Amino acid sequence: MLAAMQAEKIIGIVGGVGPFAGLDLQQKILQETTAARDQDYLSVISISQPGEIPDRTAYLLTETAVSVNPAIPITRQLLTLERAGAQIAGIPCNSAHAAPIFDAIRSGLQQAGSQLTLLHMIDEVARFLRQHMSGVQRVGVLSTTGTRLARIYPAALEPAGFTVLTPSETVQTELIHPAIYDPEYGIKANGRATAKSRSDLLTGVAALQQAGAQAIILGCTEIPLALTESQIDGIPLVDATRVLARALIREAVVAGS
């Protein structure tokens, strides 16, 4: 828990990626703050305009000519957040941190002369592992197929000396991705864990554990809605959304005090 004695820099959230992940991040910012009165909580502005942002995984898988880079509307929303007062921002979507999207956001902000400090959720997870899980070397990652194929976590973790483990392609395609995206039982369609989405994700956890993972990153912001525990069978689950929430609080408070 981090105290927020004086509300300092204003936090901005691109909340529509997806809408429930945006809410979950806001909730975790409140949970990780110590406050006795309304007035003691940090300031957070959230823009959730999901209809404007194309699916990140679809873009990463098909990319190119046919589809619009989600970076374009995300950058526009970040600039709206900045005009509304935000000084620090986070994007609660792992897939949006793939280089083809995130690099375009960074350069879009730069071109617009933005002063916003945009945190990189995956780099924050790497930092968290180094600081808080020093005994861990083999890290499992559960994610969308977009995040997996874009190698977002290996790119951040392997240079820091971690070995990154992912589920087999069958488990990924038949269980993990649909647990998030299936229009019937997927988390995005229901806004919460269904029995099947949770049990399929647990199969992924067991597979990674068997492969030797010492910690498992919930590398899609919908997954913590289904796997809410902090560990399973002694293996810690690292919730990327909570890591981002703590990083945003750190920047909001440190920056101002």
Q: Answer yes or no whether residue 65 interacts with a second copy by CB under 8 A.
A: no
Please say which residue, 51 or 135, places its beta carbon nearer to a second copy: 51
72 binds a second copy (CB under 8 A): no
226 binds a second copy (CB under 8 A): no
**For residue 251, what are the contacts with CB-CB under 8 A and spacing of at least 6?**
9, 88, 117, 119
Residue 183: exposure state from Cβ atoms within 10 A (0-12, 13-18, ≥19): exposed
Task: Copy the structure tokens of residue 32.
Answer: 């990780």
C-alpha distance from residue 171 to each of 10, 35, 92, 143 (Å): 40, 42, 24, 11
Q: Is 44 in the site for a second copy (CB under 8 A)?
A: yes
Amino acid at 198: R
Residues of this chain, 122-151, that bind a second copy according to CB under 8 A: none
Count of residues that bind a second copy according to CB under 8 A: 42
Nearer to a second copy, 65 or 83 (CB): 83
Max Cα–Cα distance, the chain, nearest Å: 52
The stretch near a second copy (CB under 8 A) out of 120-128, 138-146, 159-167, 183-191 is 183-191
Rounded to whole angstroms, how far apart are CA atoms 147 and 130? 21
Q: How far apart are CA 50 and CA 54, in angstroms?
A: 8
Answer for which of 68, 85, 99, 110 binds a second copy (CB under 8 A) is 85
- Please tell me the distance from the alpha carbon of residue 9 to that of residue 81, in angstroms, as a whole number: 13
User: Is residue 113 close enough to count as binding a second copy by CB under 8 A?
Assistant: no
Asked whether position 116 contacts a second copy by CB under 8 A, the answer is no
Separation of CA 161 from chain center:
21
Query: Of 36 and 195, which CB lies nearer to a second copy in the complex structure?
Result: 36
**Minimal CA–CA distance to 244: which of 116, 90, 102?**
90
Strand 2-3 and strand 138-142: pairing? unpaired
Binds a second copy (CB under 8 A): choice among 67, 80, 163, 203? 80
Name the token pair of 131.
């600081």
Of 50 and 154, which CB lies nearer to a second copy in the complex structure? Answer: 50
Q: What character string, x for contact with a second copy (CB under 8 A) and - otherwise, covers 191-210?
A: x-------------------
Cβ proximity to a second copy: between 63 and 182 the closer is 182
CB of residue 211 vs a second copy: minimum separation in angstroms?
A: 30
| Residue 38 makes contact with a second copy by CB under 8 A | yes
Q: Which two tokens stand for residue 59?
A: 């873009």
Q: Is 47 in the site for a second copy (CB under 8 A)?
A: yes
Tell me which residues touch a second copy (CB under 8 A): 7, 10, 15-20, 23, 26-27, 30-31, 35-41, 43-55, 80-81, 83-85, 183, 188-189, 191
